[in-house]
Structure 1
Amino acid sequence: MRTASALAVGFLLSATIAAGMMGTAQAAEAAEAITVTPSSGPAGTPVVISGSGWEAGLPLHVVWNCGWSTTDRRAVADVTTSPDGDWSVPAVVPGDCVTQETQVFAEAYGGPHGSPEGVFTLSPQSPESPATTPLPCESEPRIYWSQTAGPQGTHFTLDGSGWAGGGTVTIALPYGSAGLFGASTLNPAVDSLGNWRVEMYDQHSPPGDYEISFEEELCGLQVGGTFRVTVTEEQLRELLSGIWDVVSVGNTACDVTDCNTRWSSSGASKAITYLERARTIYSLANATALAVRVGKDLDELNAALEAADEDKHDPKVVAAARKTLADTKDLHRSLLDTIPGLGLLWPVPE
C-alpha cells in the first residue's frame, strides 16, 4: 500500500513534469524571433531583417507594420526559411511609418503562431551627419519587389531606395512588349532620402516574362527587373484538354488512313509534365479555334463510319479521316507554338 508521503511525492513529481512540459511548449511557441540590424537610426536606414526559430521550409511574408490601429502593412519580401528555421532579407526603414511612438515593427506572417516583432527605433535625422543622405549621383539604386510572379491580375508593390533624392523615376516596358501593367503612378517622385513606392498590377497580359525598366534622368540611374505572368488554372485545363484531344482524335483518323507513325501517349504525358512545371504559355486563341474544328471533324468521321457500316475503305470515310488528320496536325503545331521547347518532347507525327 502506498503511504500518504509517497502519494505526495508522486503528486509533486507529476506536477513538476507537467510544469516542465508546459514550459517546454511555451518555449517552443515563443522560439520564433525577429531582429532588425542595425536596431536604430533615421528613416531611410538600410537594415537586415532576420528571423530564427521557425519551422524549416516555411514560406513567410515579411512586412513593416505601420500602425496598430490601421491596416498599413508595407511588404518587404517573401522568404522561405532555411533547414535550420532561419531567414534574412535586406530592407530600408520606410518614412512616415511608426508603429508605436518612435518605433517601427518588422513582422513575418505564415507561421503557426502569428508573428513576433522586430523593433527598429527611429532617431532624428541629424543635419551634422550628411553620410545618411548620399549625394544624388553617388546613389546605389535598388528596388524591392513584393513578388516577381503571379497569374493574370496580380497586384504587387515596388519599393525603391538609394535613388537620387528629389528626382523622378520613369517606369516603362520595352517598345513592342505585349505586357499590360497598370500602376498608381509610372513616374514616382523620389523623396529626400532616396526612397519611392509604387503599387503595380497586371492587366491580363499574355503569360510570359516581362522586362520592366526603371530610370532616373537626374543622375542617369537605371535598374531593370522581370515579372512573370503565369498560366491561370482555366488556361492550363484548356491546354491539357487540347493535348489529349490531339492524341485521341489523331489516332482515330490513323485507324482509317494507316499513318506511318501515330501519336504517342507517353509523349503527351511528357508534354503535360513540362507544361505543369513551366506554367508559361503565350496565346491559346488559335489553338482553341482549331480544337473546335477538330471536334467537328471527329463527329463527321464517326458519322461517315456509321453510314458506311464501319467500312474504313469507303471513299467518304477516307476523305473525312484525311481531313481530320490534317486538322489534328495543325492543332498539334498550334499547341507547340504556345509552349517554348515543347516540340522536342512531343513532335508532330510524319
Structure 2
Amino acid sequence: MRHQVVIIGGGPSGLLLALLLRRAGIDVVVVEQRTRDYVLARIRAGVLEQGLCDLLREAGVGKRLDTEGFVHEGTVIAAHGRKVHIDFKTLTGSTVTIYGQTEVTRDLYAELDRTEAPVFHEAEGVEIHGADGDAPYVTFTRNGQGYRIDCDYIAGCDGFHGVSRRTIPEDTRREYEHVYPFGWLGILSETKPLYHELVYAGSKRGFALCSMRNAHLSRHYLQVPLTDRPQDWSDEAFWDELRKRLPPEFADTLETGPSIEKSIAPLRSFISEPMSWGRLYLAGDAAHIVPPTGAKGLNLAASDVYYLSRALIARYAGDEGLLKTYSATALARVWKASRFSWSMTRMLHNFPDEGDFLDRMQEAEIDYLAGSKAAQTALAENYVGLPY
C-alpha cells in the first residue's frame, strides 16, 4: 500500500491536516490507535482562536462552527480583590469562539467520511521506518493483519505518548519540561454558564475557571493537589469550593447541578526540539504540551497544521523551502504561546512552596494589569492568538 503522506494520529490535528492536504490533491491516509468512539469521547478545551476557525472553514467544516459557536469579545480576570475585563475586540480587533473540541473532531470525521478518506482505526504496534532516508514507511497490525504503508512523508500527530516523537533519536532531540505542583479538577454539568464570557479567578484558596460548552452546558475547574482523586470530590463539595474562590457577585449567581463528567488533569509545560527529523514532521501534543490556563493546546496544534500543510502543499508544487524551515517556524510560535500559558499560570495559581513573596508579586501583577492598557493589550493579543 502506498500514499504520499501518512498521518499518525486521528485527533483534531491529524484530521485537520488530512482534510487540508486532500483539498490540495495530496494523497493521505490516517492511522489511529484508538476507536473513533474513544476519540470522540475525549473531553477537551473549546476556546478557538480566529486562526483555527479560519482553518476549519478552509477545510470545509465551518458550517456548525459558524451557527453553533459562541463568539467571545473578552474575558474576566478576578484575583486578589480586583476584577479586570480584557476587551479582546477593542484591544486587538479580534475575538475567540467557544466550540468544543469534541464537536470539532466530529465535524472533521464527518467531512472525511463524505470525501471517503482512508482512516485506519485500532492500529496496534505502529512503527515508523526509514524516516531519515528517502523511502519512509509505517507498519502496524489491525484485527490481526499486518499492514505496511510506503510514503513520501510522515506527519506525527499522535500526542505526547505516541510513537512519533520517540522515533527521533535521543541524541538528536532536546526536551524542555516543567511540571506544576497541582492539577485541575474539572466537571461538566448541564447548567447555564456563570457569565457570558469566561471567568478566570485567583484567590488564596487557589485558582478557578468558569467556562462553557453551550448555553446549557458548563465546564468548571478548580486547582487541586496532585494527590487528589475525582472521587474525593462530591458535587456538593466542588460547588461549595468554587463559590469560595469566586468574587461574591459571581458566586451569588452560580447555577449548580449534578456533574455528568469529572476528571483531574495534571499540568505541565513541555517542548521537544526539533519538530522534524528527515521525512518525519511532528505537530501538536507530539511536540509540545502547555498548561490549559491560556487555552493554547488545540490552538498550537492548529498553527503547526497551518505551517505543515502549507509546507507539504508547496513541496508537491516543487518548492521544498517551507519544509526545510517548518521546525524553526513552528517552534518560534510554540515558545511564545508556551510563555503566555506559563505566565497566566504563574499569575493566577497558588504555589504552596513559594511563600508570601509570590503572593505579593501576583497582587502587583493584577494591579498593574488593571491600570495599564498596554498590559491588557499584551494579554489580549496572546489570548486571541499570535499571527501565523
**TM-score where L is the length of structure 1:** 0.23
Higher helix proportion, which one?
2
Instruction: Indicate the structure whose relative CO is greater, using CA pairs within 8 Å and at least 6 residues apart.
Output: 2
How high is the TM-score relative to the length of structure 2?
A: 0.21
Bigger Cα Rg:
1
